[in-house]
Amino acid sequence: MRSIIVHGGAWDIPDDAVENHHQGILEAVSAGWEILHRGGTALDAVETAIRQMEEDPTYDAGRGSFVNAIGDVEMDASIMDGAALEVGAVAAIQDILHPITLARRVMERSEHVLLVSEGAMRFAREQDIPFCTPEDLLVGRELERWREIRKIPDYSGKIAFSGVPETGMNAPGDTVGCVALDERGNLAAGTSTGGTPNKYPGRVGDSPIIGSGTYALNSVGGASTTGWGESIMKVVLAKSVVDGIELLDMSPSAAAERGISQLRDRADGYGGVIVLDARGEPGVAWNTPRMARGWMNEKMKEPFAAV
């Protein structure tokens, strides 16, 4: 069954941002579904859906990314082809609107899995990936958020996701991701992010780490995660959810719930995960107040989206 699922972050999405998140998810699902519907590959569907959200300033990926501790945007992304266990990832890159496309180039045109920082950008130049200016990625909302965060003593990733008690401020985890299954039975998954707000320069989260942010294996399923990366990496969330399907014979929903329980119980973590099994059945779970998610498959008449 052709199938696609996307996420646009798990956090305390404010009421006035719900509509933008909902609309962005619908557009991303539709863009990816269009590829699958006309017989395209799962990889193309994942890349297309994520590019759509990287372009959209609503999310913490590409345009709209968070600002790090020295006022720069640094982004991470990964993509995985579940047919051959091929993977590509980039971390701590700057001035590129579509990190997911660069991750795919690493997968398809290099002998490596993960390139970071200057090396990744050197590879991008060799691959004729377009560069943009820092201002193309930095939106006023994030500059303002960064200024507010800088006023909070002892601000950290953990309080970003659990909420800053004195202020009620709850920083967004607007990482984006997608999992797709095409008509040939190939699964692909991808994730793209600007990381966490005010992160230390060079900090890398879960999103480009295969098994934590992204995983896909044709015979079992695929997953993409969002949330507080330092906790997600400790439970290798994406692979753990896929393992729930393979080793415990769980439904995608049950495997996703188990993964989020482990995130909370073992790592005191926060986040969300989307998953498809090898038949294209979707599952999703999160332990934050809201999660932006949506999906479409051959059993449905129109895409579903919710925040």
Q: How far is the CB of 38 from ligand GLY (least distance, A)?
A: 32
Active site residue 175: yes
Q: How far is the CB of 234 from ligand GLY (least distance, A)?
A: 12
Nearer to ligand GLY, 30 or 225 (CB): 225
229 interacts with ligand GLY by CB under 6 A = yes
Nearer to ligand GLY, 10 or 121 (CB): 10
Active-site entry in 41, 48, 58, 175: 175
| Paired tokens of 5 | 């699922």
8 interacts with ligand GLY by CB under 6 A = no
Q: Is 215 exposed, middle or buried (0-12, 13-18, 19+ CB in 10 A)?
A: buried
Question: Three-state SS for 173?
Answer: coil
**Per CB under 6 A, which region of 50-58, 100-108, 137-145, 220-228 contacts ligand GLY?**
220-228
* Contacting residue, 8, 32, 62, 205, with ligand GLY by CB under 6 A: 205
Q: Which of 221, 225, 220, 196 is nearest to 210 (CA)?
A: 225
- Other beta carbons within 10 angstroms of residue 179's beta carbon come to 39
Task: Calculate the CA dihedral of residues 292, 89, 108, 278 and round it to 10 degrees.
Answer: -50
What does the DSSP 8-state code read for residue 212?
Answer: T
Q: Side chain identity at 227, as an amino acid letter?
A: G
Nearer to ligand GLY, 88 or 177 (CB): 177
* Cβ atoms 20, 183 nearer than 8 A: no
> Which residues between 264 and 283 bind ligand GLY (CB under 6 A)?
none
- Return left, alpha or beta for 251; rule: phi > 0 is left, psi -120 to 50 is alpha, else beta: beta
68 interacts with ligand GLY by CB under 6 A = no
227 interacts with ligand GLY by CB under 6 A = yes
Nearer to ligand GLY, 41 or 175 (CB): 175
CA–CA distance, 160 with 22 (Å, rounded to integer): 22
Instruction: List, by residue number, the catalytic residues.
Output: 175
**Where on the chain is the footprint of ligand GLY (CB under 6 A)?**
173, 175, 193, 195-196, 205-207, 226-229
